[in-house]
Chain A
């Protein structure tokens, strides 16, 4: 075995290890067969990782050697990721679900460890969306003065429609853009005067005035004390427009 005594990153691999590593990455059989390790292979492993992959390692203390570790393998992407997953399994971490894992030690149970993670092809791993913890406001409903004022908003809708559409003519090409613009404008207007913790939905229907009939209906499942809606209708000789704003309180 000419390679076994070289001082490069390669070190001799116990045949049992090789077999286990090749089977699956997450087997725990390793724990029953282990060679006694000195600090050198582990430090070398750390060195190799730092230099080759550029991943931040948290500092490892002597207590890492409580559980048996595989000796460092030749650094290749796939093998490395499998071995790292084994390391984490040995640590009984909560990251069992993940295939390619971070190289952190001893995450406290039940907490996400936010460290920079790179998969070994160099692409970032999708992190779960971080929970944003806001302070508790202890409010169960909007303040009395801060409800969705349907009358006031209806007036605003009406005046905006009149102003925006005054003499507009309906055209199929421009109609789509017109309705989108109107919808966004109404929403941002109401947003400016609207109260915090209210979600807004603005719904606009623009149609051509011809010899036909149309009905717009809506029904809502919400809390009637906090949520409300406002409607405005506009019509001229060539087009009509219906604008509805729904305001929903976000608990």
Chain B
């Protein structure tokens, strides 16, 4: 049910803040950051206990004036499946988190 995903934007935001809240972009740590963002997010989603399979994607990009585009295209059942994307930024980096929920 798509309405379940309206709460996921909040979940994603909280996960990102918790993982990389006040940090500055560091190449050596970005791997760990993206893993923790994604794991936090997925953990929160599973706690909701809904009958969904989840896919969580995270993009962390350094702020350097460059442009970035993302697009997704999905083949699924419109009435039961949905997605949501959250854009987060701080002074040194952007973070884009996408959550896809597919009903079982």
Contact = CB atoms under 8 A, between A and B. Distances in A.
A215 interface: yes
A103 interface: no
A201 B64 contact: no
Nearest to B34: A217
A151 to B, nearest CB: 20
Given A199-B81, A220-B56, A187 B67 contact: no
A215 B34 contact: yes
Contacts of A207: 61, 66-69
Interface residues of B, number: 45
B87 interface: no
Contact of A203 (B37, B61, B64, B98): B98
Contacts of B64: 210-212
Interface of A: 129, 170, 172, 175-176, 178-180, 182-184, 186-187, 191, 199-223, 227, 244, 246, 248, 250-251
Given A179-B70, A217-B31, 14 more contacts: A180-B73, A183-B71, A187-B75, A199-B81, A201-B76, A205-B70, A206-B68, A206-B71, A212-B63, A213-B61, A214-B60, A215-B59, A218-B58, A221-B55
Interface of B: 25, 27, 30-31, 33-35, 37-39, 42, 45-46, 53-77, 79, 81, 83, 98, 100, 102, 104
